[in-house]
Chain A
């Protein structure tokens, strides 16, 4: 039996157990109180809102996705005790703090326009056509304040109105489409869908397919690599190992 254990692996598993099996109260020294939809829970101090709720006993089927700040599923609204400010964040990316009152907004009802980007003109009119409400923007900047990615949301909506596809794309690029901007917007604009349309237009028309890529696709279709490829896939593992070890590397 002895060779069927690895002490190193056992040590690694033990060190990681809080992240893999749920937290045991006996491992915790510091505690805070948070209010999930108004109800008080005492939870460990070093958690995110997401893991604090799990500690409290919630098993998520909504309001959770990637758990690492990419998918936008765990939009959360909270207020801290004694603070007038309504704040927003992703539950998986926001530290749970003592005295937080919170609720998740796992879904935001939003219109998404249907368009065929291959048939649209590369001009500002595309936004007016599909999302005419962008012109209702009153530049209040509430969307920007709501953005958990700290994007300048209002700026990219203004860029859309001007037809500045490049700056819209630059500013909105890190959007995770959580919907918090749209929920807060007094003009009822769905900012993240506007940005999606704008970025696709910029990708297709502003950037396009570069020549070297077009050329390579053509070369493959014409069979430029066919012979070499057929030779290589027939090689034995030994031959391949040699080719692999001896292959040249492009310098950094």
Chain B
């Protein structure tokens, strides 16, 4: 692309397109397209990657046999294990814990703190991480956390917004816990020293977001998840809770139908550790790195669905696993940041999606699936998208509107992360719009949980994105960090309670794995795939073609 001439970050042809956006901006200050009717929503959703044909198939084995799921998900559920019965020596136990937590994002870390608060000693809790403690989607949550704590708001309103956004498929008692515990969680974070955006009078500053009926979104600039997490990690480290890094779990261990431990694998040296535990909390997050339907993702490097794969083999039931969330506004230009998250808070603060003709074509705060489908329709059906030098299509997100609506200097204060990201490519989001296209964002369903984070498998809890039920078929913005915090807390408290009543010897075995492999064979699944995949592979094709496995 050396021949392209760039003007303030954009090539000449895109620069010309931007002028059309600038021209209509004045008119659009006072014009917002109306929200869609339920019928219009249903119509546009036909083009959403979740509903467009060809993306899903039936699961052939396990507790959810017969259910539909994305092909990439079924590939992993029907994959063979990395280890077999007899591959690992289970007679030497490296860690004997009361509670093993797999995954150290917001959910896992919160669980450890509350288990500790409920009387489980720090040295009886083990938190293990695939990468470093905190290399998780949690810290990338930009926009905020919902909690109904203003006078005009109520937990009932939060509930209705949540289940409406979830297409009424949410588990009612679980969604109820989410909204009822939200203010308590906010208070806990404030007491631990998390710094939230405030009004002049010291009240929490709150914003609208997609699918919300009331301003309820709390944020910490555009580093909300990072701020929440680093406060919790600081507390975690202060309490000296036992922590392993670069040790992903590659299989659970069982005794009959209950889980009793896990095999951890040293990512750097390749040796394994055996953990025995009275209770296990899986908090491994989601599956963005599976690149479902070939979409880029907002997710961190380790978001590869491992936790669900492990639990499923041990008999855990899944729900709403067919529903994938695509964030409406991922970056579509420049190529270096394709798929990266442009928080919904931008639209909550006044930025509008605008097509190639400079028209605002969609209400900016539809639920995420509706908003995403509308952008895909604009680009690929109505052909009103903008094409990048590498052939991607996108629509504009008119960020300069934010300062027209909120005053000069607002973007720098509220979106320092965004400014920084684009500045590295010479783009000033205060002056120019940015190009966006939907990106793979969130695993709506997962391992079915109850309101305490408990699964159908004895000894097994889940919290955060890995779980299914609370968000139904579609999660609202600000309910993911909240999910991690509320159900991390619940799982921590519930496991603390459980382990106190657990006496007696626990055996650890891999019998469940043997059974699962048998089922795969009976179903005629070929042994071509192995899981968990642990990390995706982005090595260049030329380098891979000449690799020799010597050591």
Binding site for B on A (CB under 8 A): 3-6, 8-9, 11-25, 29-30, 43, 45-48, 51, 54-62, 64-71, 73, 93-95, 112, 114-118, 149-150, 169, 173-174, 176-177, 196-197, 199-204, 207-214, 216-217, 220, 225, 228-229, 232-233, 237, 240-241, 243-245, 247-250, 252
Q: List 22 A-B contacts (CB under 8 A).
A: A5-B53, A6-B53, A8-B52, A18-B390, A22-B541, A54-B538, A57-B544, A59-B537, A70-B226, A71-B135, A173-B223, A197-B234, A203-B195, A209-B190, A212-B149, A220-B155, A220-B180, A225-B180, A249-B213, A250-B152, A250-B213, A250-B215
B522 within 8 A of A: no
Mask: chain B, 209-230; 1 = CB below 8 Å from A; 0 = not: 0000111000011010111001
Stretch at the interface among B13-21, B77-85, B290-298, B353-361: B290-298
Cβ-neighbour of B202 out of A114, A201, A210, A229 (below 8 A): A210
Residues in B with CB closer than 8 Å to A249 are 213-214
Mask: chain B, 358-384; 1 = CB below 8 Å from A; 0 = not: 000000000000000000100011000
B192 touching A233, Cβ below 8 Å: no
Closest CB-CB distance, A92 to chain B, in whole Å? 9
A70 touching B140, Cβ below 8 Å: yes
B118 within 8 A of A: no
| In the complex, residue of chain B having the shortest beta-carbon distance to the beta carbon of A118 | B191
A212 touching B204, Cβ below 8 Å: yes
B144 within 8 A of A: no
Stretch at the interface among B316-324, B334-342, B478-486: B334-342
A196 touching B150, Cβ below 8 Å: no
9 smallest CB-CB distances across A and B, nearest first, come from A13-B294, A200-B193, A57-B543, A203-B193, A244-B164, A65-B135, A55-B540, A6-B52, A20-B291
Q: Say yes or no: A57-B547 contact (C-beta < 8 A), given A66-B135, A73-B132.
A: yes
Rounded to whole angstroms, the CA-CA distance of A6 and B376 in the bound complex is 13
Cβ-neighbour of B139 out of A17, A71, A233 (below 8 A): A71
Residues in A with CB closer than 8 Å to B214 are 249-250
| In the complex, residue of chain B having the shortest beta-carbon distance to the beta carbon of A44 | B540
| In the complex, residue of chain B having the shortest beta-carbon distance to the beta carbon of A2 | B53
Rounded to whole angstroms, the CA-CA distance of A54 and B539 in the bound complex is 5
Closest CB-CB distance, A194 to chain B, in whole Å? 12
B135 touching A203, Cβ below 8 Å: no
B192 touching A200, Cβ below 8 Å: yes
Rounded to whole angstroms, the CA-CA distance of A47 and B464 in the bound complex is 33
B341 touching A68, Cβ below 8 Å: yes
Residues in A with CB closer than 8 Å to B381 are 8
A176 touching B336, Cβ below 8 Å: no
B187 touching A229, Cβ below 8 Å: no
Cβ-neighbour of A174 out of B172, B183, B338, B417 (below 8 A): B417
Rounded to whole angstroms, the CA-CA distance of A249 and B393 in the bound complex is 33
A216 touching B148, Cβ below 8 Å: yes
Cβ-neighbour of A60 out of B156, B213, B301, B339 (below 8 A): B301
B380 touching A47, Cβ below 8 Å: no
A228 touching B156, Cβ below 8 Å: yes
Closest CB-CB distance, B58 to chain A, in whole Å? 13
Residues in B with CB closer than 8 Å to A197 are 234
B-side interface mostly: loop
Residues in A with CB closer than 8 Å to B198 are 207, 210
For window 453-488 of chain B, which residues contact chain A by CB distance below 8 Å? none
Residue among A24, A59, A210 with most chain B CB within 10 A: A210
Closest CB-CB distance, B342 to chain A, in whole Å? 11
| In the complex, residue of chain B having the shortest beta-carbon distance to the beta carbon of A226 | B180
For window 379-405 of chain B, which residues contact chain A by CB distance below 8 Å? 380-381, 390-393
Mask: chain B, 134-167; 1 = CB below 8 Å from A; 0 = not: 1101011000000111111011110111011000
Rounded to whole angstroms, the CA-CA distance of A196 and B425 in the bound complex is 30
Rounded to whole angstroms, the CA-CA distance of A216 and B180 in the bound complex is 10
Residues in B with CB closer than 8 Å to A243 are 160
Rounded to whole angstroms, the CA-CA distance of A214 and B186 in the bound complex is 10
B543 touching A56, Cβ below 8 Å: yes
Rounded to whole angstroms, the CA-CA distance of A74 and B154 in the bound complex is 42
Binding site for A on B (CB under 8 A): 1-2, 38, 47, 49, 52-55, 131-132, 134-135, 137, 139-140, 147-152, 154-157, 159-161, 163-164, 168, 172-173, 176, 180, 183-184, 186-187, 190-196, 198, 202-204, 208, 213-215, 220-221, 223, 225-227, 230-231, 234, 237-238, 240, 246, 267-268, 291, 293-296, 298, 300-302, 334-341, 350, 376, 380-381, 390-393, 416-417, 420-421, 424-425, 535, 537-544, 547
Residues in A with CB closer than 8 Å to B376 are 8, 12
| In the complex, residue of chain A having the shortest beta-carbon distance to the beta carbon of B540 | A55
Residues in A with CB closer than 8 Å to B208 are 250, 252
A70 touching B187, Cβ below 8 Å: no
Rounded to whole angstroms, the CA-CA distance of A177 and B230 in the bound complex is 9
Rounded to whole angstroms, the CA-CA distance of A30 and B390 in the bound complex is 13
Residues in B with CB closer than 8 Å to A65 are 131-132, 134-135, 300-302
Residues in B with CB closer than 8 Å to A210 are 190, 198, 202-204
Q: Say yes or no: A247-B135 contact (C-beta < 8 A), given A6-B52, A22-B537, A213-B204.
A: no
Residue among B221, B392, B424 with most chain A CB within 10 A: B424
B164 touching A9, Cβ below 8 Å: no
B540 touching A57, Cβ below 8 Å: yes
Closest CB-CB distance, B543 to chain A, in whole Å? 3
Residues in B with CB closer than 8 Å to A250 are 152, 208, 213-215
Closest CB-CB distance, A162 to chain B, in whole Å? 19
B301 touching A225, Cβ below 8 Å: no
| In the complex, residue of chain B having the shortest beta-carbon distance to the beta carbon of A169 | B195
Residues in A with CB closer than 8 Å to B47 are 8
B301 touching A22, Cβ below 8 Å: no
Closest CB-CB distance, B106 to chain A, in whole Å? 13
A29 touching B168, Cβ below 8 Å: no
Rounded to whole angstroms, the CA-CA distance of A7 and B156 in the bound complex is 42
Rounded to whole angstroms, the CA-CA distance of A61 and B225 in the bound complex is 23
A240 touching B420, Cβ below 8 Å: no
Rounded to whole angstroms, the CA-CA distance of A245 and B134 in the bound complex is 39
Rounded to whole angstroms, the CA-CA distance of A197 and B132 in the bound complex is 20
Rounded to whole angstroms, the CA-CA distance of A2 and B339 in the bound complex is 29
A15 touching B540, Cβ below 8 Å: no
| In the complex, residue of chain B having the shortest beta-carbon distance to the beta carbon of A214 | B187
Rounded to whole angstroms, the CA-CA distance of A14 and B291 in the bound complex is 12
Residues in A with CB closer than 8 Å to B298 are 68
B156 touching A229, Cβ below 8 Å: yes
Rounded to whole angstroms, the CA-CA distance of A229 and B160 in the bound complex is 10
B135 touching A112, Cβ below 8 Å: no
Cβ-neighbour of B541 out of A3, A23, A118 (below 8 A): A23
Closest CB-CB distance, B93 to chain A, in whole Å? 25
Closest CB-CB distance, A184 to chain B, in whole Å? 20
